[in-house]
């Protein structure tokens, strides 16, 4: 199993290095598949020894059912239209299922989660260093995309990397100083990417956290205020230490373009003032939501994922650029409801801080198609893993778990909410 974990960590290390077109399988994803080819067969062979196989299957049986139904929809349209794009979409479904099953197993390890956090924290710092060195890629000379080839995909990776870091830090009681540093780096990099969807996600996250803290002040007034001010100070100081050297090291012109209204501020203000209109298209048309309006029958039976030129009444011939609306349109209401039920069952026992992070991710997902991103689905698994009652052998208890030392059993224990 050690090799499976190493291969998964290599997947994470290589994840932001884009070689092929964005939105598709990248070189790093090969290592995730190799990890699964080792871990899942071993888990199956030892199914009678530890019961984990049965548990993982039970946790994800709805996701398996969703994948099966979505596969049938794509196979139907492949058989009638004969287009290979439906088969490619099917492969993404299988890939995501593999990722969910794999992380449901490996993610139960405390030590493994710590390593994931360290890798993602390193990625955030590395992206800032690359920016300082002027070695990153630019989109239209104003939107930074690091070592990826799409600024929105870059923004998404940075955003979800922070959510992983935040949830892991909170669940394992890791120093909040590192969490504050990661937040500052995330805000800076998202700002450079010019991704309005990620700004929305971060805004929801920060607002929800602040509201949650305010609700707790009545019980732990001084602790909450002290730690909130401490975290805010860390964030502000770190952010300024990044902004000022960036202006000095990279040069005035490029930084001025990225920091001026020509990038993020202008994109946000334009979308707000125009009601989301982009290039004479409304937000709903630009994101492909109008397909649900013109072709409501497919929200019932599913349109299959591919060959979007079929929907000529829509303003664009692209997929719906929103995760759950796309699932509804291409696979229909039954698979979509099954998927939502899986998400609920996996996250219903998650601590509030994890639910807040998940809320931010889901809000962001209505502006960008995350369906093909394994990290998106694995994050949902993560929120469930930290609240689950079963640990693998090499673990120490995660927050929310307690070990019965007299009988050697692992059981769930409801923990008091802490303010950190």
Calpha distance 246→144 (Å, rounded): 13
What is the rounded average pLDDT of the residues 92-119?
94
For residue 255, what pLDDT band results from cuts at 50, 70 and 90? very low
Amino acid 285: pLDDT: 86
CB 131, CB 83: distance < 8 Å? no
User: Mean pLDDT in the chain?
Assistant: 81
60: nearest Cα among 336, 340, 354, 346: 346
Query: Which residues is 412 bridged to in the sheet?
Result: 401
Task: Report the 3 state secondary structure along the chain.
Answer: CHHHHHHHHHHHHHCCCCCCCCCCCCHHHHHHHHHHHHHHHHHHHCHHHHCHHHHHHHHCHHHHHHHHHHHHHHHHHHHHHCCCHHHHHHHHHHHHHHHHHHHHHHCCCHHHHHHHHHHHHHHHHHHHHHHHCCCCCEECCCEECCCCCCHHHHHHHHHHHHHHHHHHHHHHCCCHHHHHHHHHHHHHHHHHHCCHHHHHHHHHHHHHHHHHHHHHHHHHHHHHHHHHHHHHHHHHHHHHHHHHHHHHHHCHHHHHHHHCCCCHHHHHHHHHHCCCCECCECHHHHCCCHHHHHCCCHHHHCCCCCCHHHCCCCCCCCCCCCHHHHHHHHHCHHHHHHHHHHHHHHHCCCCHHHHHHHHHHHHHCCCCCCCCCHHHHHHHHHHHHCCCCCCCCCCCCCCCEEEECCCCEEEECCCCCCCC
For residue 23, what pLDDT band results from cuts at 50, 70 and 90? low
What is the rounded average pLDDT of the residues 359-376?
90
For the chain, the domain total comes to 1
Q: Residue 420 domain-assigned?
A: no
> 30: burial class by Cβ within 10 Å (0-12, 13-18, 19+)?
middle
Q: Is the pLDDT of residue 45 over 90?
A: no
Q: Residue 107 domain-assigned?
A: yes
Q: Is the pLDDT of residue 235 over 80?
A: no
Q: Is the pLDDT of residue 265 over 60?
A: no
Radius of gyration of the chain (CA): 22
Q: Residue 42 domain-assigned?
A: yes
Return the higher-pLDDT residue of 271 and 325. 325
Least confident of 156-170, 242-256, 290-304, 365-379: 242-256
CA count, 13 A, side-chain hemisphere, 111 = 8
Least confident of 130-134, 212-216, 273-277, 370-374: 273-277
What count of other Cβ atoms lies within 10 Å of the Cβ of residue 414? 10
Amino acid 150: pLDDT: 87
Calpha distance 403→411 (Å, rounded): 6
Q: Residue 419 domain-assigned?
A: no
For residue 250, what pLDDT band results from cuts at 50, 70 and 90? very low
Q: Residue 237 domain-assigned?
A: yes
pLDDT in tens, 199-217: 889 988 988 888 787 777 6
Q: Is the pLDDT of residue 398 over 50?
A: no
Q: Is the pLDDT of residue 413 over 80?
A: no
For residue 176, what pLDDT band results from cuts at 50, 70 and 90? confident
Return the higher-pLDDT residue of 101 and 141. 101
Calpha distance 43→129 (Å, rounded): 40
Amino acid 247: pLDDT: 44
CB 196, CB 367: distance < 8 Å? yes
Q: Residue 11 domain-assigned?
A: yes
Q: Residue 417 domain-assigned?
A: no
pLDDT in tens, 141-170: 778 888 888 888 999 999 999 999 999 999
What count of other Cβ atoms lies within 10 Å of the Cβ of residue 239? 18
Calpha distance 104→388 (Å, rounded): 10
Calpha distance 377→199 (Å, rounded): 21
The domain in which residue 201 lies consists of 2-412
pLDDT in tens, 288-309: 899 999 999 999 999 999 999 9
What is the rounded average pLDDT of the residues 369-390?
87
Amino acid 295: pLDDT: 92
Amino acid 207: pLDDT: 86
Return the higher-pLDDT residue of 23 and 302. 302
What is the rounded average pLDDT of the residues 187-201?
89
pLDDT in tens, 334-362: 999 999 999 999 999 999 999 999 999 99
Q: Residue 354 domain-assigned?
A: yes
Return the higher-pLDDT residue of 419 and 312. 312
Residue 336 is encoded by which pair of tokens? 């979509």
Q: Is the pLDDT of residue 25 over 80?
A: no
Q: Is the pLDDT of residue 2 over 60?
A: yes
CB 349, CB 387: distance < 8 Å? yes
Amino acid 401: pLDDT: 40
For residue 175, what pLDDT band results from cuts at 50, 70 and 90? confident
Share of the chain above pLDDT 70, in %: 76
Q: Is the pLDDT of residue 409 over 70?
A: no
Q: Is the pLDDT of residue 412 over 60?
A: no
Q: Is the pTM of this model over 0.75?
A: yes
Return the higher-pLDDT residue of 246 and 29. 29
CB 327, CB 339: distance < 8 Å? yes
What is the rounded average pLDDT of the residues 63-81?
95
Amino acid 196: pLDDT: 85
What is the rounded average pLDDT of the residues 324-342?
95
Amino acid 183: pLDDT: 92
CB 35, CB 4: distance < 8 Å? yes
Amino acid 388: pLDDT: 66
């Amino acid at each position: 199993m050690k090799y499976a974990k190493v291969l998964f960590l290599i997947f994470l290390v290589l994840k932001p290095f884009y070689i092929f077109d964005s939105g598709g399988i990248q070189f790093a994803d090969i290592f995730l598949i190799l990890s699964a080819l080792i871990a899942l067969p071993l888990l199956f062979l030892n199914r009678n020894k530890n019961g984990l196989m049965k548990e993982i299957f039970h946790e994800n049986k709805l996701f398996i059912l969703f994948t099966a139904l979505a596969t049938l929809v794509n196979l139907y349209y492949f058989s009638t239209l004969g287009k290979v794009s439906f088969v490619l979409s099917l492969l993404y479904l299988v890939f995501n299922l593999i990722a969910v099953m794999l992380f449901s197993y490996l993610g139960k390890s405390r030590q493994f989660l710590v390593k994931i956090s360290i890798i993602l924290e390193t990625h955030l710092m590395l992206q800032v260093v690359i920016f300082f060195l002027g070695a990153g890629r630019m989109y239209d000379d104003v939107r930074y995309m690091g070592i990826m080839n799409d600024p929105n995909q870059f923004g998404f990776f940075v955003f979800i990397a922070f959510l992983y870091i935040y949830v892991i830090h909170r669940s394992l009681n890791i120093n909040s100083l590192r969490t504050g540093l990661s937040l500052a780096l995330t805000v800076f990099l998202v700002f450079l990417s010019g991704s309005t969807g990620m700004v929305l996600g971060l805004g929801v996250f920060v607002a929800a956290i602040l509201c949650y803290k305010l609700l707790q002040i009545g019980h732990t007034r001084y602790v909450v205020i002290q730690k909130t001010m401490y975290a805010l100070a860390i964030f502000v100081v770190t952010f300024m230490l990044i902004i000022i050297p960036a202006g000095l090291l990279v040069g005035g012109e490029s930084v001025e373009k990225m920091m001026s209204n020509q990038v993020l501020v202008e994109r946000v203000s334009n979308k707000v003032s125009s009601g989301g209109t982009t290039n004479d298209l409304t937000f709903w048309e630009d994101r492909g939501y109008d397909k649900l309006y013109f072709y409501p029958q497919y929200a019932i039976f599913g349109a299959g994922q591919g060959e979007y030129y079929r929907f000529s009444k829509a303003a664009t011939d692209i997929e719906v650029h929103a995760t759950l609306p796309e699932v509804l349109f291409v696979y229909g209401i039954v698979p979509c409801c099954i998927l939502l039920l899986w998400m609920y069952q996996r996250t219903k026992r998650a601590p509030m801080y994890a639910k807040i992070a998940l809320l931010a991710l889901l809000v962001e997902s209505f502006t960008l198609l995350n369906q093909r991103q394994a990290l998106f689905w694995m994050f949902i698994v993560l929120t469930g893993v930290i609240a689950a009652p079963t640990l693998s052998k090499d673990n120490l208890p995660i927050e929310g778990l307690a070990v019965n030392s007299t009988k050697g059993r692992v059981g769930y224990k409801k923990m008091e909410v802490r303010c950190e």
